[in-house]
Amino acid sequence: MLFLVVLLSLACTSHSLIEVAKNTELDSIDVTEAEADVTESEDDVTLSQEDNFVIFTVASEDNDPFQRYVRSLRVFDMEKYLQVLGMNSKWLGGNMEKVGGGYKVNLLREAMEPYKDEKNTITMFTDSYDVIFLADKAEILEKFKKTGARFLISAEPYLWPDMSLESQYPEIKGTKYLCSGLMIGYTDTFWNVLNYKKIANTDDDQLFYTNAYLDAKFREANKIQLDGTSTIFHNLHGAVREIDFGFGAHRITNWEQATMPQVLHGNGPSKITLNMFGNYYPRGFDPTEGDYGKCLACDEQEGRVNVNDTDSLPVVLTTLFINERTPFLDYFINKTFSQDYPPEKWHVRIYNRVWEHADHIQELINYHVVNNPDNKLASVKIFQPKDTAKRKLMEIYEEAMYTCAEVDCGWYFAMDSVITLTDNNVLKDLIYWNKSVITTQLTQPGQYWSNFWGDVTNDGFYKRAPDYFELVKRERLGLWNVAFVNHLVAIRGDVIDSGKLSYRHKTYDDNNYDVGFSYNARKNNVFMFMVNLKKHGHLKKMNNYTTEREHNDLWQIFTNPTDWKLNYIHPSYDIFLTKQMVEFPQPCPDVFHFPLLSKRFAWHIIHELESMPGDVFAESGNNNDQRLAGGYENVPTVDVHFTQINLQQEWLKVLRDYVAPIQRRVFEGYSFNGKALLSFVVKYHENGQRKLVPHHDHSTFTTNTALNRQGIDYEDGGSYFIRQNCLVRDVDIGWTLMHPGRLTHYHEGKEISRGTRYILVSFNDP
């Protein structure tokens, strides 16, 4: 028992003083005087023994806030002093949002009875779910001793719960109203306070301590003080603005009182603020280290999941939600199925509410699952609009989450079609952290719109947190406890089983299912984390997306340029941005060869044109061409101009963003501003136009991009540069020939002998 250990410690201290007395040359020190010094200075005893300090807290369940509390003690090697009361027991203290909490006093009285006579043992009591420690035992006890109090209680700026007591409060330095969430004292005095009067479990604990403090005779006899200057304790409610961030030796500072508190309490409605402070303290994140700060908590290995051990990986359920018309939908689904996870441990569900996407989604599922002989996924189910269109979103998301129990999943992932994943390890990367709820940071490229909020208003909607911009701009990289998450949410299976999470909330309309989810998580002490150490993807813009064309994504370069590049620019393009002119392939003199467009673009533009009603190529191929300003084409081709399909402005942006940077590398001293009056797709066909006569292009320089495969889709063909006596054939899909137009590069299109050849041509700077 602590009582016996403390006595032993004090005995050891007395013995050491006796030895000093026996061996000293000073005759004035003897055994009796030494023992008397110990007795007389009991209030000022040097508290260096291991077992003269105890911390009590009350917690009915081992949840996320409790784990944070324990970690803060562990950081300072103080977990060994902690005694937890009421764990895994029914809470008997009433509704803590109202008057109540006497249960805590009674639990504490029962636990402290064995130590009630300990005059030299110091006992601290704190709440647990909304408290973090900022300093170690030595600093706490040193500051406590300097107060001269035998019992110190934290203070706050609001009087609660009995406003009528205001006039009875004595004036003190700093904040003057009592807060019962934090207190420290010599154990015998603490015992006296706990026995000031009897209290029922559902009576109010704060009122109990308030009455004891306001009893002047009792207060003076027991040397009770309030910590009005935040010497040890700081309550955040009503006093957030008094706190400044600090790191290293400066730590958190109460600038108004010029103190550095050792214990921080997120009392009342300040719990989200405490979560923010808890991201940094203690030893959570230091923004002063390195270019992106230093996530100290990220280096901790306790509780992490070994995702490299395939055999021990949990069963995962991933649910995809398509709630609105979605650009680049096939990429969203394809990238999900390409995640690196054991398929036999992976269940997939798809909830589609968009009729226009139904057939396309089914085709993708057929490709990945139904017609895929290598498919080993544990299960895949799809719910189309006939099953989902008339159901509420809250109902659908709730049903999907609780499907986790049906497949005995260890983790559940909810993914909205607004996300674009660019990494194949998202599932493992998030599981690794082993958090109750976690997401990866996803933002709209170049914007501050993201899938997390650091703070919320009283009604649960967005409120900018002080560090939001630093996080969303990725200026601070770490693991962050946040107030709201959506679009990609990973939830541990046991948290779902606990019944604490729900998308339903009567206050919010159905479209705010994610607001309801986050509200319920916060209310039920489930922390939501966002990690941004690694880029896993981003968010698309979904506004004004139409499905009127066959391949609507071709028109998305202005709305979603990052996704357009990801889907339609050749994967090797960026490599060529670092090359010098001499490093570019030149199949003929001054004919430069580089990758521009992806195979997906080539297939999509061909399919788009060939899928249009009638024959979109039919009105071309003649000298008389009403599509041109003069109505006459000297060297006609069977083609479709981008102006015909309203793709001209989109293509001009491609020229500005992707062709111009290459042009500047190969034609040094000339700068292209993206002007091209004529951009078109040419179709050579064995039963139609098979070749093109020699000609000069009406351009300063021309780009000619292959859209299909020579030797497979067609035979022969190619571009023959007459003055250079050079034939270029066999150009890979998406690769482009860039060459001067008028004057130097007189050329012709060689005849194809079989099949159909498609090329995309731009006459640049005519």
Residues in the chain: 766
- Which amino acid would we find at residue 507? T
- Which amino acid would we find at residue 124? M
Contacts 24+ apart (CB under 8 A), 502-506: 502/398, 503/393, 503/394, 503/397, 503/398, 503/401, 504/394, 504/395, 504/398, 505/394
CB-CB contact of 401 with 362 (8 Å): no
Q: Measured in Å, how far apart are the chain's first and last C-alpha atoms?
A: 93
Helix H or strand E encompassing 421: strand 419-421
Count CA atoms closer than 13 A to 400's CA, side-chain side.
34
- Give the 3-state secondary structure of 86-145: CCCCCCCCCCCCCCCEHHHHHHHHHHHHHHCCCCCCEEEEECCCCEEECCCHHHHHHHHH
Helix H or strand E encompassing 31: helix 31-40
| CA 610 to mean position of chain CA atoms | 43
Q: How far apart are CA 762 and CA 766, in angstroms?
A: 10
Instruction: Please report where in the chains the tokens 């002490």 appear, as a residue.
Output: 525
Closest CA to 451 of 536, 558, 349, 350: 536
- Which amino acid would we find at residue 371? N
DSSP letter for 26, please.
Answer: -
How far, in Å, are 201, 385, 407, 492 from residue 402 at the CA level? 36, 20, 10, 12
Q: Residue 65, preceding bond cis, omega within 30 degrees?
A: no
Which residue in the list 325, 349, 476, 757 is annotated as catalytic? 757
CB-CB contact of 286 with 273 (8 Å): no
CB-CB contact of 122 with 150 (8 Å): no
How far, in Å, are 136, 140, 283 from residue 76 at the CA level? 5, 11, 10
Closest CA to 296 of 277, 273, 280, 278: 280
Contacts of 319 (CB under 8 A, 6+ apart): 348, 349, 350, 351, 400, 401, 403, 412, 413, 414, 415
DSSP E strand boundaries for 515-603 = 528-531, 537-539, 592-595
Instruction: Please report where in the chains the tokens 């304790």 appear, as a residue.
Output: 233
Contacts of 153 (CB under 8 A, 6+ apart): 178, 179, 180, 182, 183, 209, 213, 224, 225, 226, 227
How far, in Å, are 46, 315, 350, 598 from residue 35 at the CA level? 15, 66, 78, 88
Sign of CA dihedral 507, 523, 271, 172: positive
Q: How far apart are CA 602 and CA 232, in angstroms?
A: 68
Q: What share of the chain is helix, strand, coil (3-state, %, to 5)?
A: 35, 25, 45
Q: Which pair of structure tokens corresponds to residue 539?
A: 């968010």
754 is catalytic: no
Instruction: Please report where in the chains the tokens 């999941």 appear, as a residue.
Output: 305
CB count within 10 Å of CB 516 equals: 23
**Residues 365-387: b if buried by 16+ CB within 10 A, e if exposed:** beebeeeeeeeebbebebbbbee
Q: How far apart are CA 667 and CA 659, in angstroms?
A: 12
Active site residues: 757
